[in-house]
Chain A
Amino acid sequence: MSALQEFLAAREIWQVPLAASVVAGALLGALGVYVVLRRTVFVSAALTQLSTLGLVATLLAEERFHIETEHASEQLLVAITFSVVGALVLGALRSRRLPAEATVGTAWVVSSALVVLGASRLVHAAHDLGGMVFGNAVAVPASDLAVIAGVAVLCTVVHQLFAKELAFTSFDAETAQAVGMRVQVWDSVLFLTIGLAIPVTARALGALPVFAFLTLPAAGALLLGARFRVAFPLAAALGVVAAAGGYVLSWIWELPTGATMVALAAFLAAPAALRRLAR
């Protein structure tokens, strides 16, 4: 039996994780258009770390202080809280005395250090954490798929309803504010969707692929020369191909799932980048 036939025969094992990866790839790919165009790629990295820090905090609370957080929903709620609060704070940053990058970098490096420190104190759950950070999309429960799908629907509805406000305030906040638009409110709406999407997808895919999907598909779509409205479906499609293709290839070639997805996402973006370089 070939590797592909084996893969197809094991459909019951992979259909939920694959579906979760595909939805996450589409969602993060589309949101990534704003992440890349607003030059906030590093914000998404910091949020991914903050979300992981939330998970570490729940695991520590359980192991060290015997606070019951073994339910996935409780862990997810804490991760969402860390990510959303971080998103609202980091997304609202405007350069004053320090460049915004300095604060975002501080958030990233401090949360990364706290993740390492927290993980070093974990005894039983240390192995689980590895999957959360580097991706282990092989085993995703149906409940996680439902949550990812729910968040994807919510984000899609919000971005459809307020597309023009989010685009205007992101593109030219100065003018939007001058003509009376509440830029901070719209920034919060945007970063709320990003802050929500990161922890729910990070649970399924891991932090590394989430950061990659928020960057590479959008970068690929924009480098291909897509116009603003076209960039969203194109980036989502690239995210889907990278997620699904990476999942299948990692199964067949017995590679780490998250890293394979990231490599494929980079591979898909490469021709567009080369084309732009050749100009």
Chain B
Amino acid sequence: MSGALVRLEGAAIGYGRRPLLQGLDLAVGPGEFLAVVGPNGGGKTTLLRTLLGAHAPVAGRVVRREGLRVGYVPQREHVDTIWPFTAGEVTLMGRVPVLGPWRRPRRADREEARRALSRVGVEHLAEKRFGELSGGQRQRTLIARALVADPELLALDEPTSGMDPAAELGLMDLLRELQRNGALTIVMVSHRLEAVANYARALAFVDKDRRLFRVGSLDEMLRPDALGALYGRAVAVREEAGRRLVYPLSSNGEEVLP
């Protein structure tokens, strides 16, 4: 894809010199919503961080469009809540790479932070301590921090991890809305296919233990052969009330509720 924001070309991802997965080709184009799905410890985060340039590939190339603005939302559990920052201060941090050294945040930057909090529906929590927020509120604050840099590409690592179903749906709805209204490109990592099957437009299945790396459109990837490669067993996909539900089948052919 010539207009890709970021592209892996024959890349091997991993730490140090040890590759987890090799020969990866992937292009993320503007306006895409790509979900990277696979088991925990399967190499999804490494793939995401390699795409962003935070990890160098062990082999091959990562090509990013020059000047690409990136927003990143880490796993919520990775952000230490003992730091006495307010939600507003955490959001304002998103302006740091934009401002560069020497320049201090000004009123306009604070206004941007307030707008970003408003976009994700937690403006009223600006003065509340980050560590005192609920998991969902914290996640929205971290998304606001990513948005405040006006990114073209928003990368999220397990944003719905540990959330109850209602909060998970709320967050996924928010991401879809941001992607549609803000012309954002989204790449998100999730170990739960069920969480992203109704939102992403493209899927990448990643599992280093099975040496699995497969990318395609949602329709291509929700076929039995692709899902079988991910789960290592037969999988049924049903559509109920306009939503796709993915059921891995147990060894005796019974559906396992997602």
Contacts and interface: CB of A to CB of B under 8 A. Distances in A.
A106 B146 CA distance: 38
B84 A231 contact: yes
Given A172-B74, A231-B84, A178 B54 contact: yes
A73 interface: no
Interface in A171-222: 171-172, 174-181, 222
A41 interface: no
Nearest to B105: A164
Given A172-B74, A172-B93, A175-B72, A180 B53 contact: yes
Interface in B33-83: 49, 52-54, 70-74, 78-80, 82-83
A162 B104 CA distance: 9
A226 to B, nearest CB: 7
Most buried by A among B78, B97, B102: B97
B86 interface: yes
B45 to A, nearest CB: 9
A165 B84 contact: no
A164 B99 contact: yes
Contacts of B146: 175
A228 B71 contact: no
Contacts of B96: 164-165, 168, 176, 181
B200 interface: no
B165 interface: no
Contact of B72 (A171, A178, A227, A231): A178
Report the contact-size class of chain B (Cβ under 8 Å from the partner): 20 to 34
Contact of A171 (B73, B83, B101, B149): B83
Contacts of A172: 74, 78-80, 93
Given A164-B96, A165-B101, A174 B74 contact: yes
B155 interface: yes
Contacts of A165: 96, 101
Contacts of A177: 54
A225 B96 CA distance: 25
A116 B84 CA distance: 39
Contacts of B142: 175
Nearest to A162: B101
A178 B93 contact: no
A37 B83 contact: yes
A228 B54 contact: no
Given A175-B72, A228-B85, 12 more contacts: A171-B79, A171-B90, A172-B79, A174-B74, A175-B142, A175-B146, A179-B149, A180-B70, A181-B96, A222-B82, A227-B89, A228-B84
Interface of A: 37, 39, 161-162, 164-165, 167-168, 171-172, 174-181, 222, 225-228, 231
Interface of B: 49, 52-54, 70-74, 78-80, 82-86, 89-90, 93, 96-97, 99, 101-102, 104-105, 142, 145-146, 149, 155
**A-B residue pairs, 4 tightest by C-beta:** A178-B72, A178-B54, A177-B54, A168-B93
25 contacts: A37-B80, A37-B83, A39-B82, A165-B101, A171-B80, A171-B85, A171-B90, A172-B74, A174-B54, A174-B74, A175-B73, A175-B74, A177-B54, A178-B49, A178-B52, A178-B74, A178-B155, A179-B52, A179-B70, A179-B97, A179-B149, A180-B53, A180-B97, A227-B84, A228-B85
